[in-house]
Structure 1
Amino acid sequence: MYNKLALLALSLRAVRAQQVGTLTPETHPTLNTQTCTASGCTTVANKVVLDANWRWTHSTSGSTNCYTGNTWDATLCPDDATCAANCALDGADYEGTYGVSASGSSLKINFVTQSAQKNVGARTYLMANDNQYQMFNLLNKEFTFDVDVSKLGCGLNGALYFVAMSADGGKAAYPNNKAGAAYGTGYCDSQCPRDLKFINGQANVDGWTPDSNSANSGTGNHGSCCDEMDIWEANSISQALTPHPCTSTGQTLCQTTACGGTDSNDTRYDSVCDPDGCDFNPFRLGNQSFYGPGKTVNTNSVFTVVTQFITADGTSTGTLSAIRRLYVQNGKVIQQSNTDVSGIDTTNEITSNFCNQEKSAFGDNTGFQTKGGLAKMGKALQNMVLVMSIWDDYAANMLWLDSDYPTTSPASSPGVARGTCATSSGTPADVESSQSSDYVTYSNIKFGTLNSTYKAS
């Protein structure tokens, strides 16, 4: 994803602490999912946990903030190791503070929540139990969910995706991390984000530079890299399906310019990961009537998203050969739209040939291929954590998803037009004010053998 993941609570700003506080109880909401085979589906009582980057972090001896505005407390956090020892990560009031609510098989995440402080966005993970993330092997399987994006306007992203995080949030590998998955630690993605407050049991204080365009975020010397499979990056206008491989395996620490990604625009492609990915955005690929309000996939109402991961030998350990997508709405199965771009063969799935042709036709960076392409992505898909979030974009106003991007190129140039939103849209200050009541709902998550998780009525 192109984002910095610099989503924030405006007074108790996102922090990744490693000690555990006791001022607020941590109770994980239950979210029912289903596992499916050809003979039927079985309900599983999973849970969700809020990412550590959103939580209040305070001194272990009291309630003094370790991080206020976009700066660290110099006394509590003079360096990475001392800060991790001095700061406690506390429990969360999921609905009251962060706008996250689960009921049965449905998870709703509000964009802006106003309580004692103003919270913007949230990132959550699916858990197998109170101390472990749910792990997925997606090869030769399909992943299905229902989504309501009707209240997501330009500049917002309701993102459901997989990353190669550790099952325990890094607790075993890094003894300084006392919180682990129970408190949402261990995040990583293909942008190798440097706005994370704690990584691998250490704080990210050293080299911390407050952002010039946000009073609440910044970047440190370190980032956290891993393979990322963007199942769903979307609002009511546009959507994209995007694999992002890395040459590394699992969560990996990076330093300064070697992190590349969104936090290092001058060295965007210098990391172990591919920050761009090989994206399948129907609008960008020539079908402007497929997805949106009143279109073939009508975003005015709920619909089902099915993503299939096809292997060359039809096994759960084989080489990933294709990623396929279909939808179900009003009882009708809708196949992914076909490409309609000069230089790209007509197709409706992501394959190595499609990715090669897309990069050439659009003149995009070829990091997807050099970082291992679908074959490397497939290896990562054997051990992934599910992420569900909503966010706005301080780096590029989400124009890469729903407008013309880059804005320095004509909209008529191949690959530039990605949606109908104006190039002036998506400014965080604007969307956080005018679209504060927006939200996304994910529901009816199912995982199983191919063609087992959906049906037409």
Structure 2
Amino acid sequence: MLRSPLLVSLSLAAASLAQQVGDYATEAHPRLPWQECTSGGCTTKSSGSVTLDANWRWVHVTGNYTNCYTGNAWNSTVCTSNSQCASRCALDGANYQETYGITTSGDALTLKFVTQGQNKNVGSRVYLMNSESKYQMFNLLNKEFTFDVDVSKLPCGLNGALYFVQMDEDGGLSKYPGNKAGAKYGTGYCDSQCPRDIKYINGEANVDGWTAHPSDVNAGAGRYGTCCGEMDIWEANSISTAYTPHPCKTENDGGQQRCTGQECNTPDRYGGLCDPDGCDFNPFRQGDRTYYGNGRTVDTTKKMTVVTQFITNNNSTTGTLVEIRRLYVQDGKVIPNSKTNFPGLLDPTDSITEKFCNDQKRAFGDHPSFQIQGGLSHMGRSLSKGHVLVLSIWADYAANMLWLDSTYPVDADPIKPGIARGTCPSNSGNPRTLEIDHPDAQVIFSNIKFGDIGSTYSGTPITLPQVPLPPGARGAV
């Protein structure tokens, strides 16, 4: 899906990314233990921690306080070329709580939308670490990934996201000589949107062709983007949710690759290395308007447990990915996933399979980029290489998050299947308005578990009632 994270707005600590390491602030990763489970029980990984993405960090000239990037522009005196900027600028440590609103308590991580201290920070993105210098890698095939989440303070237009991307374990430290910071300082990000707002890619700055964003005072776009396979486990607020695989035909079956021009899906959104749309399962978009939200079957006013299972054709970690299942646990009850509810148009399916994706693209009239990029089987090959866990809170300058929680495209008939994605007004989600009206918004992730199918959750199974066809929706074509 669309992703345009909001960056830090600081006077001395401008949001940016560099490859040298500064020494003005000590980098201390907040601890975040998680559990690995088998049928015999779960073991706590007490060494787990998180690191802040480098794009949010202060970058300055090595040895002094001169900014290399301020607002949405590079310091043209310091950064006259991509390689020179990397060699002259230093990436520094982060004050997680005071500057970025990032805190941990036990197994819980809280990400605040706006943090107003000496300066103002908006949004954040962090990665789960295995050690001080390496990301925790996950192979999700024939496994399930489970976590608790509280989205009660996420209104229309915000996204508390948990997802996996095929980043390098060390953040590119060993692969690119210009990168002296590595995973410890949150380098090496990539995703299926091939983002061009990343300021350093592959150990070099993204100065060449950099253009300031017309409405985001902290962001811009350079000549290069950075692509890789992406598995969105959770994109959600209190109104809507979706989970979505995004395959990429980059190097190493979806591994991180720098792109330029059409490789980055520009100008043709569907002509690049990655699938930007994915094959999404959003209960509201699938026709079940009573499943997720305030006081609904999955009640977003309360904490919930989210379980995602990755099924292979031979029930092994080396098999072909054939299905991605979802279920929830809330108040001790195991809640099966919602079923597609467009009788005569889509079968009543409750998981992501190749058939579901083919049927959905046809029924909704969506571009078959998911299939063109290799579908579930190629997504599985990417997952088998190992993915990094990403947790973030963000607002959307590109489309106001309407693709998640409102009518999208806004000029389309909301009665048409696939257009309505949530109950948010089509004029909601403006990031600047959200900063003013909802500065206290936050998401809390906790109780992360990873392990064998069926080993990470418990509860009493329930049966969902049959839901009516959405009012006015056409069930056949």
CA distance in 2, matches of 1:306, 1:13: 37
Amino acid at match of 1:194: R
- Equivalent residue in structure 2 for 1:257, among 262, 266, 269: 262
CA distance in 1, matches of 2:107, 2:290: 31
Amino acid at match of 2:31: T
Q: 1:7 to 1:270 in 2, by over 3 A?
A: farther
Deviation at 1:4, TM superposition (A): 2.3
Specify the SS of the correspondent of 1:354. helix
Superposed CA deviations along residues 270-311 of structure 1, whole A, max 9, x for unmatched, are 211000000000000000000000000000000100000000
CA distance in 1, matches of 2:382, 2:10: 34
Gaps of 5+ in 2: 461-477
* Residue of structure 2 in register with 1:431 after alignment: 434
* Residue of structure 1 in register with 2:345 after alignment: 343
Does the CA-based 8 Å contact 1:7-1:391 persist in structure 2? no
CA distance in 2, matches of 1:367, 1:83: 36
Amino acid at match of 2:377: A
CA distance in 1, matches of 2:85, 2:421: 42
* Residue of structure 1 in register with 2:9 after alignment: 9
Q: How does 1:206-217 map to 2 (within 5 A)?
A: 206-217=208-219
* Residue of structure 1 in register with 2:159 after alignment: 157
CA distance in 1, matches of 2:65, 2:346: 57
CA distance in 2, matches of 1:138, 1:277: 18
Amino acid at match of 2:207: V
Q: How does 1:213-224 map to 2 (within 5 A)?
A: 213-224=215-226
* Residue of structure 1 in register with 2:326 after alignment: 325
* Residue of structure 2 in register with 1:308 after alignment: 309
- Equivalent residue in structure 2 for 1:168, among 156, 167, 170: 170
TM-score in terms of structure 2 length: 0.94
Does the CA-based 8 Å contact 1:155-1:426 persist in structure 2? yes
Amino acid at match of 2:227: C
Specify the SS of the correspondent of 2:184. helix
Deviation at 1:345, TM superposition (A): 1.3
In the alignment, is residue 18 of structure 1 matched against residue 19 of structure 2?
yes
CA distance in 2, matches of 1:121, 1:86: 27
What root-mean-square deviation, in Å, do the aligned CA atoms of Structure 1 and Structure 2 show?
0.9
- Equivalent residue in structure 1 for 2:125, among 119, 123, 126: 123
* Residue of structure 1 in register with 2:468 after alignment: none
CA distance in 2, matches of 1:24, 1:194: 27
Amino acid at match of 1:392: A
CA distance in 2, matches of 1:14, 1:410: 39
* Residue of structure 2 in register with 1:384 after alignment: 387
Deviation at 1:408, TM superposition (A): 1.4
CA distance in 2, matches of 1:104, 1:456: 23
- Equivalent residue in structure 2 for 1:84, among 78, 86, 94: 86
TM-score in terms of structure 1 length: 0.98
* Residue of structure 2 in register with 1:285 after alignment: 286
* Residue of structure 1 in register with 2:443 after alignment: 440
Deviation at 1:5, TM superposition (A): 2.9
CA distance in 1, matches of 2:237, 2:10: 23
Does the CA-based 8 Å contact 2:164-2:231 persist in structure 1? yes
CA distance in 2, matches of 1:17, 1:277: 31
Runs of 4+ displaced beyond 2 Å: 4-14
Does the CA-based 8 Å contact 1:10-1:120 persist in structure 2? no
CA distance in 1, matches of 2:433, 2:166: 33
Deviation at 1:63, TM superposition (A): 0.7
CA distance in 2, matches of 1:240, 1:426: 17
Deviation at 1:323, TM superposition (A): 0.1
* Residue of structure 2 in register with 1:30 after alignment: 31
Specify the SS of the correspondent of 2:28. coil
CA distance in 2, matches of 1:22, 1:224: 28
- Equivalent residue in structure 1 for 2:54, among 52, 66, 79: 52
Does the CA-based 8 Å contact 2:7-2:218 persist in structure 1? no
Which moved further from structure 2: 41-50 or 249-258? 249-258
CA distance in 2, matches of 1:103, 1:157: 22
Amino acid at match of 2:371: Q
Does the CA-based 8 Å contact 1:10-1:216 persist in structure 2? no
CA distance in 2, matches of 1:145, 1:215: 34
CA distance in 2, matches of 1:100, 1:376: 34
Which moved further from structure 2: 80-89 or 211-220? 211-220
Q: 1:180 to 1:50 in 2, by over 3 A?
A: same
* Residue of structure 2 in register with 1:415 after alignment: 418
Deviation at 1:228, TM superposition (A): 0.2
Superposed CA deviations along residues 328-383 of structure 1, whole A, max 9, x for unmatched, are 00000000000012422111000000000000001101010010000000011121
Amino acid at match of 1:85: S
- Equivalent residue in structure 2 for 1:358, among 354, 357, 360: 360
Specify the SS of the correspondent of 2:16. coil
Deviation at 1:6, TM superposition (A): 4.3
User: Number of aligned pairs?
Assistant: 453
Deviation at 1:10, TM superposition (A): 4.6
* Residue of structure 2 in register with 1:201 after alignment: 203
Gaps of 5+ in 1: none
CA distance in 1, matches of 2:95, 2:271: 39
Amino acid at match of 2:364: F
CA distance in 2, matches of 1:355, 1:450: 23
Specify the SS of the correspondent of 2:362. helix
Does the CA-based 8 Å contact 2:151-2:442 persist in structure 1? yes
* Residue of structure 2 in register with 1:41 after alignment: 42
